[in-house]
Amino acid sequence: MRKEKFFRLLKILPLLFCLLTVDSALAQQKRKARPLGSGGGGNSAALRQQLSQALQLAKNSEFESAASALFLLSRRPELQGERAQIKYVLGLMLMEMKLNQVAAFQFVDVIRLKDERYTRLAIEKLSLVADTLGDDTLLNYSISKVDINTFPANNRDMLYFRLGEAKSKAGDFKGAIESFARVPLGSSYFNQALFAKGLAELEANDPDTASRTFRALVSARARAPVTDTNKVAGQLAYARALYQKQDWDAAIEAYANIPRDHVLWHDALFEQSWAMMRGARFRSALSNFQSLHSTYYEDFYIPESLLLRSIVYLYICKYDEMNKVLTQFEKVYGPVSGKVNEFIKTQNDPQAYFAEVEKGAKVKRTGEKENSNLRLPYIVMRFILGKGDVKRSLAYLKRVNDEKSRVDKNGDLRSTTVGQYALKVLNNRIKNTRVAIGDMSKAHLLNMRVELRDLYEQAGLIRYEMINGQKESIRKKISEKNLPENQIDDKVDRRFYVNNGYEYYPFRGEYWLDEIGNFHYLGRQSCE
């Protein structure tokens, strides 16, 4: 029973704070602490009475009625002296109505009015609504004006986390690390802060400290399920820190601990392949490529992995296999490059780019590609949808759309002046965000175009090395120098694989339990 009462108390604390603020506002009205301005006496008295009634509605938790009344009063020039108070309480009402984006505009106005009675309170509330929305612009604006010492102690964890993010973006990694470190254990931001702290340490070129930070994150999530995203992200970041240290063997082992049924496993497998190649473990790298390039992952944009696979074949002089992989690279990414180029050349409107993102998101959600009308290959759109800035902006757009839907479904609110104002604000935010996402998508496509151009040049150089290798092999055969028939993995008895459930196909020299994740390459190498 005590626990239930405690949780009920937590739920009503924000409302209690709101009512205390309104009580204070009512007390100020009764004391007539500030004159109303240059209106007639009777008119001023009537407006004062309306304001008192609106504040009483707020105190009685009649949020919609209070918001409607306060919004109208906020536009009266006679109440200029009370505008900061009116807009602050209006923002509180809109927060209670779950219209955070509309509330944010009220708190910004209060901050700009520079009324010392409400500025600090408005900054605090703006920080909270911006954090809920995930609006980086509002967050940066509010954080730039925050005095940490006056910020409510129960919300400082959020502030330290957001300050750390801002400092990381600005390149102040030392300051970011200090801010992230101040987020306490038990905070809802703790896991994110610990992860971000490790990233800042990597950016500061301190992989030793970063690896300890990521291990701490994994340990903190020890009781969570194997596929817990915080745990898996921490494990993957730990592997990346080891890779940055060039500890190839330890990195390979760390990558291997990523569970196969998590979305990050494919990324881990690709990065592990790089570590294997850097560590000269070619057979293991080729094993990974069988999974990376299976039909299950045909929609993944990973052109570099095909070139990496061809380089491994070059090292072991498997020129026929090398040629097949390079041909596959050209077959898959040639059309992709052509369509990306064509789209960029013919489209300048950000809305056209957003439309592709929207269609790509629907395909990703439903799995239906046939009638998607995508002008860009889905492999491209899936890649763009996975970019951090696009993901964050889409999440923000969804929250704003949810607010708009909330107003649209409330006929009484929609018919009011404040409801119409809310719709205008939300429609503008939706339009601007769609344009921003379109611009982000175009930037990613431009980068992709450059990347594919560079990769094609690299593919040409690899082909050149392949031809040289083939010529050298032919020369040796003409010279009657027989090539050895050594196995890449000669020391391992084939019965080991068969006894452990693998199947052997002699004509390929391959073993596997299934297509994804258990392939073992045992082909012959052809180098002296």
Which of 287, 234, 198, 448 lies closest to 272, judged by CA? 287
**pTM summary value:** 0.80
Contact (Cβ atoms closer than 8 angstroms) between residue 261 and residue 245: no
- Cα separation of 135 and 392, whole Å? 9
- Cα separation of 51 and 81, whole Å? 13
Contacts 24+ apart (CB under 8 A), 164-172: 164/193, 164/196, 164/197, 164/200, 165/196, 166/139, 166/140, 168/196, 168/199, 168/200, 168/203
- Cα separation of 442 and 453, whole Å? 17
Instruction: Return per-residue pLDDT of the chain as tens, 528 residues.
Output: 444 443 343 444 444 444 445 455 545 544 443 444 444 445 778 888 999 999 999 999 999 999 999 999 999 999 999 999 999 999 999 999 999 999 999 999 999 998 989 999 999 999 999 999 998 888 888 888 888 888 888 889 998 999 999 999 999 999 999 999 999 999 999 999 999 999 999 999 999 999 999 999 999 999 999 999 999 999 999 999 999 999 999 999 999 999 998 999 999 999 999 999 899 888 888 888 888 888 888 899 999 999 999 999 998 889 999 999 999 999 999 999 999 999 999 999 999 999 999 999 999 998 888 778 899 999 999 999 999 999 999 999 999 999 999 999 999 999 999 999 999 999 999 999 999 999 999 999 999 999 999 999 999 999 999 999 888 888 877 776 554 554 444 454 545 444 444 443 333 434 333 444 544 444 555 565
Structure token pair of residue 308:
């990496």
Which of 288, 253, 311, 242 lies closest to 455, judged by CA? 311
Tokens 């080991």, located at residue? 496
Q: What is the DSSP-derived secondary structure letter of residue 483? A: P
Query: Which pLDDT score is estimated for 475?
Result: 84
Structure token pair of residue 118:
């409400």
Q: Write down all domains in the chain, each with its CATH number in brackets.
A: 13-151 (1.25.40), 340-478 (no CATH), 483-528 (no CATH)
Which of 264, 266, 243 lies closest to 253, judged by CA? 243
Which of 283, 291, 286 lies closest to 517, judged by CA? 291
The angle at the Cα of 154, spanning 148 to 155, to the nearest 5 degrees, equals 55
Query: Which pLDDT score is estimated for 482?
Result: 54
pLDDT digits (tens, 9 = 90+) for 3-15: 444 334 344 444 4
pLDDT digits (tens, 9 = 90+) for 380-437: 999 999 999 999 999 999 999 999 999 999 999 999 999 999 999 999 999 999 999 9
Torsion of CA 363, 367, 371, 377, to 10 degrees: 60
Backbone angles phi, psi at 367, to 5 degrees: 80, 5
- Cα separation of 97 and 414, whole Å? 13
Contact (Cβ atoms closer than 8 angstroms) between residue 494 and residue 287: no
Structure token pair of residue 506:
């002699």
Which sign does the torsion angle of CA 371, 375, 379, 385 carry?
negative
The helix (run of H) or strand (run of E) holding residue 510 is strand 510-512
Query: Which pLDDT score is estimated for 111?
Result: 93
Q: What residues contact residue 528 under an 8 Å CB cut-off, 6+ apart?
A: 476, 483, 484
Contact (Cβ atoms closer than 8 angstroms) between residue 375 and residue 343: yes
Query: Which pLDDT score is estimated for 359?
Result: 95
Q: What is the DSSP-derived secondary structure letter of residue 487? A: B
- CA distances 516 to 238, 265, 356, 508, Å, are 23, 11, 30, 18
